[in-house]
Amino acid sequence: MQAEEDAVSFVRRIAQGRIDVVREETASRNAGGHASASPDELAVVFGQQQGGGSVRPPRDTEVPANHLRLAQLTELCDRLHFADYTDLTDDELRALEIELAAFEVTQSNDRRSLFTRIDALSAELVARYKTGGANVDSLLN
């Protein structure tokens, strides 16, 4: 479950970043221009994120390139031409944003569900240790 939570969190962050890029392009177009895809400009877009982040400590994450969630995001981006977002029409750009946002919501819901299950299992394990139903010595034998 922890490995799957790592994957869903990783893919969710990638989706959020792509949504930020698309929204910045939309805002730039509304202001009469186009967003730049330069690393400096993308750093500005990503630096505008708000929020406090997770209360859980960060961990190293190893998500295989062929993970189903990552493959789904890649397919969505390929189908809607994310790589060429500056060449999309306004309607195509909006469709890309809508589908990326829906994908991100699905990942967020899955992540919350995994957290709930992981927390329940952790609580059960702690309860077992407290009541003597499990002990560390038995794990070491």
How confident is the model over 65-88, as pLDDT tens digits?
899 999 999 999 999 999 999 999
Asked if the structure places residue 100 within a domain, the reply is: yes
Question: pTM of the predicted model, to two decimals?
Answer: 0.75
Residues 6+ apart with CB under 8 A from 26: 90, 93, 94, 97
* Cβ atoms of 18 and 82 closer than 8 Å: yes
Give the domain range for residue 19: 2-34+62-134
Asked if the structure places residue 92 within a domain, the reply is: yes
Q: How many structural domains are present in the chain?
A: 1
Q: What is the pLDDT of residue 45?
A: 53
**Separation between Cα atoms, residue 47 and residue 53, nearest integer Å:** 14
Q: What is the pLDDT of residue 122?
A: 87
* Cβ atoms of 14 and 100 closer than 8 Å: no
Mean pLDDT of 96-104: 98
Q: When comparing pLDDT for 46 and 2, which is higher?
A: 2
Asked if the structure places residue 41 within a domain, the reply is: no
Asked if the structure places residue 22 within a domain, the reply is: yes
Q: What is the pLDDT of residue 129?
A: 80
Q: What is the pLDDT of residue 37?
A: 60
* Cβ atoms of 74 and 13 closer than 8 Å: no
Asked if the structure places residue 47 within a domain, the reply is: no
Asked if the structure places residue 43 within a domain, the reply is: no
Local confidence band at 112 (pLDDT 50, 70, 90 cut-offs):
very high
Asked if the structure places residue 55 within a domain, the reply is: no
Question: Looking at the predicted structure, is the pLDDT value of residue 25 above 60?
Answer: yes
Asked if the structure places residue 140 within a domain, the reply is: no
